[in-house]
Amino acid sequence: MSHHAVDVIRAKRDGRELADAQIAWFIEGYTRGRVAPEQAAALLMAVVWRGMSARELDAWTEAMIRSGSRLDLSSVPLPTVDKHSTGGVGDKVSLPLCPLVAACGAAVPQLSGRGLGHTGGTLDKLEAILGFRSDLSAAEVVAQLREVGAVICAAGEDLAPADRELYALRDVTGTVESIPLIASSIMSKKIAEGTAALALDVKVGGGAFMTDLPRARELARTMVGIGEDNGVRTAALITDMDAPLGRAVGNALEVRESLEVLEGGGPPDVIEVTLALAEEMLALAGVDADPAAALADGRAMDRWRRVIRAQGGDPDAPLPAAPLVEEVRAEAVGVVEHVDAMAVGLAAWRLGAGRAQRGHPVSPGAGVILRAVPGDEVAKGQVVAELHADDEARLESGRAALAGAFRVGQGPPRVGPRVLERVGAR
């Protein structure tokens, strides 16, 4: 049945519910080039203002899934479970988490993306490893899941292509921060990848897309509902992103910190989130195992090395290092009360760890190392951070972005848990 784009836009603009057929026609039309970008942008903005009903959201997500193919994981002998994070500063959890869960007896098809702006991308981090290949065919993904139990790679070109087209448009039209659009974007890809279970890490705070807890809860509930309605066992953890996660922000720097976690060390907050998500994933997959034990006895590290080798990487190769390192010092004595995650993320981006536009290269060794985190006592002049960059101009830009990121006070440290709430039932 043929529809008219202007009629669909007007209906949503005026607050009317769109029919399933209208939604399916519009998304297919834009994906295939029959609906103009300006018309799709107008509908996206109408959705931002008017929202979507539960029925509309189901139809929108289904249309995005149907825009491409689904990955068939039926030949994988182990229960499949994936994890998705809504993005944050220093969030390298996928790196130790995937091999950890695989070492416990589940298969982890981790289809990941690249960073844009202040949030880092899992693929950019892994590609700091010599030889690592993130573009795998569907057959290669299935084969690696069968042989190794985990894969971390880019989503195939035919996996929910409507999302790729719509996200590129949302990014340049101010329509990213819409809960229905975020939820359908994430869940369409995860459902299309064929995983049986999914754990979501919904970040909240100054360094996240969701800056307040009520909206983070709404996003978590919306995504859990979409997953359950589509036969994917789904639950979400809401985790704090007011301060950067861990001490390393930047691609190779975060790989190095992930290796510390896999070796049984690393920052306590990274370990907390990694183990909490591992426990959630294993429970959703129906696997009875202790992830803390697999981290402590080296099984997770062994699995990490197998994953890296399977994707062409050399787990023993030295990681890239930036040639320029500048120290940032405390301006007062006291206790670090807060480190601004957004400021640190922007500093890492300006130093070269991130990109301003899709397709731009990143500097694998660039980023920020935090030498002091909330709760630490510092003396005036003590080093609280290191800036890593390839050239002086980027160093100057990163220094300006980090100015004022550290708040030092005289009161007792106020450091709470990273995992705030769980959403979903199992």
Domain ranges of the chain: 5-51, 81-316, 324-409
In the predicted model, what is the mean pLDDT of the chain? 93
CATH superfamily of the domain spanning 324-409: Pyrimidine nucleoside phosphorylase-like, C-terminal domain (3.90.1170.30)
Kindly tell me if the per-residue pLDDT of 118 is higher than 90. Answer: no
Note if 380 is an active site residue. no
Q: Give me the pLDDT at residue 361, please.
A: 79
Q: Give me the pLDDT at residue 176, please.
A: 83
Catalytic residue among 50, 125, 164, 189, which? 189
Looking at 3.40.640.10, 3.10.180.10, 3.40.1030.10, 1.10.1040.10, the CATH number of the domain 81-316 comes to: 3.40.1030.10
Structural class in CATH, domain 5-51: mainly alpha
The residue-averaged pLDDT of 400-426 equals: 88
Kindly tell me if the per-residue pLDDT of 364 is higher than 60. Answer: yes
354 or 297, greater pLDDT: 297
Q: Give me the pLDDT at residue 357, please.
A: 66
360: pLDDT confidence band, cut at 50, 70 and 90?
confident
Q: Give me the pLDDT at residue 425, please.
A: 59
252: pLDDT confidence band, cut at 50, 70 and 90?
very high
Note if 170 is an active site residue. yes
116: pLDDT confidence band, cut at 50, 70 and 90?
low
378: pLDDT confidence band, cut at 50, 70 and 90?
very high
Note if 75 is an active site residue. no
The residue-averaged pLDDT of 109-125 equals: 79
What is the percent of the chain where pLDDT is above 90? 85
SS (H, E, C) the chain: CCCCHHHHHHHHHCCCCCCHHHHHHHHHHHHCCCCCHHHHHHHHHHHHHHCCCHHHHHHHHHHHHHCCCCCCCCCCCCCEEEEEECCCCCCCCHHHHHHHHHHCCCEEEEEECCCECCECCHHHHHCCCCCCCCCCCHHHHHHHHHHCCEEEEECCCCCCHHHHHHHHHHHCCCCCCCHHHHHHHHHHHHHHCCCCEEEEEEEECCCCCECCHHHHHHHHHHHHHHHHHCCCEEEEEEEECCCCCCCEECHHHHHHHHHHHHCCCCCHHHHHHHHHHHHHHHHHHCCCCCHHHHHHCCHHHHHHHHHHHHCCCCCCCCCCCCCEEEEEECCCCEEEEEECHHHHHHHHHHHHHCCCCCCCCCCCCCEEEECCCCCCEECCCCEEEEEEECCHHHHHHHHHHHCCCEEEECCCCCCCCCEEEEECCC
Q: Give me the pLDDT at residue 115, please.
A: 62
Catalytic residue among 58, 82, 124, 163, which? 163
Kindly tell me if the per-residue pLDDT of 412 is higher than 80. Answer: no
CA atoms of 7 and 43, how far apart (whole Å):
10
Catalytic residue among 85, 134, 178, 185, which? 185
The residue-averaged pLDDT of 43-57 equals: 96
Note if 94 is an active site residue. no
The residue-averaged pLDDT of 88-94 equals: 94
The per-residue pLDDT for range 203-243, each reduced to its tens digit, is 999 988 899 999 999 999 999 999 999 999 999 999 999 99
The per-residue pLDDT for range 149-173, each reduced to its tens digit, is 999 998 888 889 999 899 888 878 8
Q: Give me the pLDDT at residue 323, please.
A: 97
16: pLDDT confidence band, cut at 50, 70 and 90?
very high
The residue-averaged pLDDT of 87-112 equals: 95
Q: Give me the pLDDT at residue 356, please.
A: 66
pTM: 0.94
Note if 118 is an active site residue. no
Catalytic residue among 12, 83, 118, 170, which? 170
Catalytic residue among 3, 50, 84, 394, which? 84
What is the percent of the chain where pLDDT is above 70? 97
